[in-house]
Amino acid sequence: MLAQYVKDFSFENPNAPRSLQPSNEQPQINIQINVNASPLQSDFEIDLKIEGKAELGNSLLFA
């Protein structure tokens, strides 16, 4: 491993602070993980993409 860095990072909480209120329902959690490898001259570049989303009913809690 020659280098490791964060290329892009974002967190959205569109319904704050309402989305932080206690609830009797469990949120629907969706996590996706994707890995891509691209050859370079004598090395490979590995992209790791992790996306997470939480929804409660029709309301987006965070993404």
What does the pLDDT look like over 11-56, one tens digit per residue? Answer: 999 988 888 888 899 999 999 999 999 999 999 999 999 999 999 9
Where residue 8 falls among pLDDT bands split at 50, 70, 90? very high
Residues 34-44 as b or e (16 or more Cβ within 10 Å = b): eeeeeeeeeee
Question: For residue 30, what pLDDT is reported?
Answer: 97
Question: For residue 20, what pLDDT is reported?
Answer: 83
For residue 63, what are the β-bridge partners?
none
Q: Name 42's Cβ contacts closer than 8 Å, sequence gap at least 6.
A: none
